Amino acid sequence: MENDRHGELEHLRGPIDDPAHELDTRRADALAAIDRAPFSWFHVKVCLVAGSGFFTDAYDIFAINLASVMLGYVYGHTGTTRTAPTLESQTQPYCPSPRPSPGQLSPGQEFGIKVAAPIGNLFGQLLFGWLADILGRKRMYGIELMIIITATLVQALVGSGQAVNIIGVIAFWRFVMGVGVGGDYPLSAVITSEFAPTPLRGRLMTAVFTAQGWGNFAASLVALIVIAAYKDSIISGGACRVDYCWRILIGLGCVPGVIALYFRLTIPETPRFTMDIDRDVQRAATDIDNQQHIGHVQDIAQQSRRVSLVVSLAGLLPGYYATFFLIDVWGRKPIQFMGFSALTVLLAVIGTGSGCLSEMFWTAGIYPGSDPDPDQGSKTKAFVALYCLANFFANFGPNVTTFIIPGEIFPTRYRSTAHGIAAASGKLGAIVSQIIIFKVGGSDTILDTKLSVDNKLRVV
């Protein structure tokens, strides 16, 4: 069998006598060899290398939602004036005395920190998508990870002073990190798509994207572990100890990126790019043959950490794996249509108000008790239950399919650029959502308005 595949590619390495017809014939034969290639260790390696980047991306993006509470505790407004540390005290952790009560970030600060990365994503997706079509996938792959590692490390080490606003500095470096994260979307999708044989392409691309769910889960889990480890110190040391927690949480995002960097820098160029853009069928055939041979704090929003874990385990990860097993059975369009339809209904229901939901659940006997007026606890349970369900259908639906489809349907010459545009459209929606949250204000109003807008967009 191995000799048959080797012989199948051997004639592609000979000289080309008839430039037009012969080149097309050899290209077709080479593409057929890619599509007939059996699943091998090389495909596993591509998934791991690309998936490690998505794990890092998701960890860094979701960790800020958890770290922002800690940042507010340390640097947020408390109603008292904090004196900035003097030059002599810069070598010691900044622990105000007497210790102020826990604070929180202002709406403007929280908006700046959370919207910076999506804006960077949008620029990175467009820029790296275009550059990958011009310069090649291999030349760009790894550069975006260097940007992510550098920006993440700087965030964890950033300090504060009389002339420096730490929240502003973090927001800037989150924008830089976002550029790298954005670049990873089209590059990882296109590289996985162009290395994968057609029968396995859907599952391989879904496997890469599933790493995003694990990154989200890891961010929540690490936050719980860090807070538990520093629990006694936080109680005695207050904001000073919490300052360690968010830095550890953010800084650990570098670890998987550093591990994956070498493999990204050494991954070969995709055969499809080599044939269609470099017009080098002989080298593409050699690459294909080589691949076949290789194949042989409890007081710091601890409850929100638990909710994040519940959402990851009950909504995100099951949705990814449902898509993984069914993407090549049901097809892309049916799963996408089903996901959009379910999300339209769920977001419309959630957007009508969590009070109605909890009353409905109480009536159904899900929350036993004698009081028909649902309290805040039942509101939270109702919201979390439906939010998990919405996350399930987001990932067993458009979140994954919109990652796969652009990597398959566009021609090689424009595939990365087109995927970048598609991904940037999604990040534009994330930016709009953050702007709505910032402008509307008020937790219940935010929820109802944002989910109603999301629902209208999904209907469109």
Domain count, the chain: 1
Q: Is residue 201 part of a domain?
A: yes
Q: Find the range with the poorest average confidence among 21-25, 125-129, 232-236, 299-303.
A: 299-303
Confidence of residue 220 (pLDDT cuts 50, 70, 90): confident
Res 346: pLDDT: 85
Amino acid at 48: L
Res 169: pLDDT: 92
Q: Residue 177 above 90 pLDDT?
A: yes
Instruction: Please report, for the domain that includes residue 52, its CATH number.
Output: 1.20.1250.20
Counting Cα atoms < 13 Å in the Cβ hemisphere of 193 gives 23
Q: What is the mean pLDDT of the chain?
A: 74
State how far the Cα of 54 lies from the Cα of 41, in Å rounded to an integer: 20
Q: Is residue 417 part of a domain?
A: yes
Query: Structure pTM?
Result: 0.74
Confidence of residue 85 (pLDDT cuts 50, 70, 90): very low
Q: Which domain holds residue 252?
A: 2-12+40-78+105-459
| Structure-token match 């502003």, residue found | 168
Res 409: pLDDT: 87
Q: By percentage, how much of the chain surpasses pLDDT 70?
A: 65
Confidence of residue 282 (pLDDT cuts 50, 70, 90): low
- Name which of 95, 81, 76 is nearest 234 in CA terms: 95
170-179, 213-222, 266-275, 381-390: which is most confident:
170-179
Amino acid at 250: I
State how far the Cα of 438 lies from the Cα of 370, in Å rounded to an integer: 38
Q: Is residue 20 part of a domain?
A: no
State how far the Cα of 360 lies from the Cα of 168, in Å rounded to an integer: 44
φ, ψ for residue 15, nearest 5 deg = -70, 150
- Name which of 205, 270, 272 is nearest 31 in CA terms: 272
Contacts 24+ apart (CB under 8 A), 336-342: 336/397, 336/398, 336/401, 336/402, 336/405, 338/393, 338/396, 338/397, 339/393, 339/394, 339/396, 339/397, 339/398, 339/399, 339/401, 340/397, 340/398, 340/458, 342/390, 342/393, 342/397
Contact 187, 140 (CB under 8 A): yes
Q: Is residue 84 part of a domain?
A: no
Q: Is residue 139 part of a domain?
A: yes
Res 138: pLDDT: 82
3-state helix, strand, coil in the chain (%, to 5): 80, 0, 20
Q: Is residue 99 part of a domain?
A: no
56-65, 123-132, 444-453: which is most confident:
123-132
**What confidence tens digit (pLDDT) does each residue in 327-346 have?**
888 988 999 999 999 988 88
Q: Is residue 17 part of a domain?
A: no
φ, ψ for residue 48, nearest 5 deg = -65, -45
Q: Is residue 171 part of a domain?
A: yes
**Residue 79 region by backbone torsions, left for phi larger than 0, else alpha for psi between -120 and 50, else beta:** left
**What confidence tens digit (pLDDT) does each residue in 414-442 have?**
888 999 998 888 888 888 887 887 777 65
Res 91: pLDDT: 38
Res 2: pLDDT: 46
Res 195: pLDDT: 83
Res 356: pLDDT: 57
Res 276: pLDDT: 63
Res 319: pLDDT: 84
